[in-house]
Amino acid sequence: MAEVTSTKLNPESHLLLDQPLLRLPAELSRKNFKSAALHVEHDRKALLGTLKATANDSLAGRKSASESLDSLDTMINRMRNLKRKMEGFHEEERTIHRQTRARLEHLHDLYRIPSLADVKYDEWSRVRLNRLLVDYLLRSGYGESAAALAKEKRIEDLVDLDIFVQCHRVEESLRGKSTHECLAWCSEHRELTRKTHSTLEFELRLQQYIELRRRGQLAEARHHAQRYITPDSETINPEVHRAAGLLAYPPETKVEPYKTMYSSSRWDFLSKLFVKTHHELFSLPGRPLMHIALSAGLSALKTPSCHSKYASSSSNASSTTTTVCPICSTELNELARNLRHVQHNKSSVEHDPIVLPNGRVYGRERLLEMSSKAGLEEGKVKDPTTSEVFDASQIRKVFIS
């Protein structure tokens, strides 16, 4: 019964890691719908206004028949352009629906698997591992490698290639000291960034102002500040005051905070701020999913003894024991060093536990057997972990309560 319970699959706990899998398509669908609605509303107002003006001018005799026909042709061309835009939005919506359907099917497969020992669970886990690898490659800027892996494993609909490629392109443009692409992105998502009270666009405009002051273009800097920076004086008052004071200090100043404002490290700050804003906007985790999964897995397996100086033969040459603990392995031991270990509610102990003078607990039968194999004289026992030797009379029986 215990074995059945331990291998029973709990889909809900697995899906905690896969929430972004469905959140992002939902955010993209909402963004696509709002963009389509804005285009329709904009062109509707323009067409109705033009139609009304043309009708009034024709009735009043202010326009000839040919001029009225030209106005109608202009309106028809505008509606055709709107139709082409709507077809593009419709195709994007179909792509989002296809990806959502594939992701729902992938998650639903988990509910069809009864046990962790089922071979289908291994197959499902491999697909998720490939997804995590693609996510990690995309966040690290290896877009081509991520796309190749996704294509090879046929999981294109389960990963977000385009979103991360666009994010990386804008991030790299900021590191290259250019604000144009990021400002275009802010303009496209202005409504959403305002709802989240993001300061990204203000920081970009501030950087443009700093660059104008760096080049000595004081008149242009003042005009830029009046247009883009001072309107935010009520919400970001300290930064606006610092920006005003920047006019009095040259780029080579040693006075803070103006020295920091002139520093090239601000471009790195802007790139990180953009990535943070981008991920928050699309409900993406700030860390790679691979890191989250590894942290959870390592913490679940880690015990207080994993980083003891007597941990195992892999880290202690004097130890005579071997271990199959993955945390004690050479590959993962250092990686898990700064992680917390979980509190285990159940423990497995020998049926005849005894305690040595150094406080370490072993099974009596197995300890005596190992000491005999180690060639010790009768009446002596050896701690297999620390290699300390004690008299058998010193061991004490342990009673588990």
What is the per-residue pLDDT across 78-116, written as a single tens digit (0 to 9) for each? 999 999 999 999 999 999 999 999 999 999 999 999 888
Which structure tokens are listed for 91?
Answer: 């195709």
For all residues of the chain together, what is the average pLDDT? 86
pLDDT at 317: 45
Q: Which residues, including other chains, have CB under 8 Å from residue 82's CB and lie 6 or more apart?
A: 39, 40, 43
CB 312 within 8 A of CB 306: no
- Burial (0-12, 13-18, 19+ Cβ within 10 Å), 191: exposed
Per-residue pLDDT of 129-167, as tens digits, reads: 999 999 999 999 899 999 999 999 999 999 999 999 999
Please give the pLDDT value at position 328.
78
Q: For tokens 């043309």, what's the residue?
A: 54
Counts for the chain of helices (H) and strands (E), in that order:
16, 5
Give the count of beta carbons closer than 10 Å to the beta carbon of residue 219.
Answer: 8
pLDDT tens, residue by residue, 207-244: 999 999 999 999 999 999 999 888 876 667 788 888 88
Distances (CA, A) of 289 to 273, 292, 328: 20, 5, 24
Task: Please give the C-alpha separations between residue 256 and each of 211, 242, 267, in angstroms, as whole numbers.
Answer: 17, 10, 18
**pLDDT at residue 197, rounded to an integer:** 87
Rg (CA), the chain: 33
Tell me, what's the pLDDT at 347? 65
Give me the DSSP letters along 185-208. HHHHTHHHHHHTT--HHHHHHHHH
Please report the pLDDT score of residue 96 as a whole number. Answer: 93
Phi, psi (rounded to 5 degrees) for 397: -75, 145
Residue 79: predicted pLDDT: 93
Residues of the chain with pLDDT under 50: 1-5, 311-322
The angle formed by the CA atoms of residues 175, 246 and 213, to the nearest 5 degrees, is 60
Question: Is the previous residue joined to 257 through a cis bond, with omega within 30 degrees of 0?
Answer: yes
**Whether 387 contacts 319, CB under 8 Å:** yes
Total residues belonging to the chain: 401
Q: What are phi and psi of 322, to 5 degrees?
A: -120, 160
Which pLDDT value is given to residue 4?
41
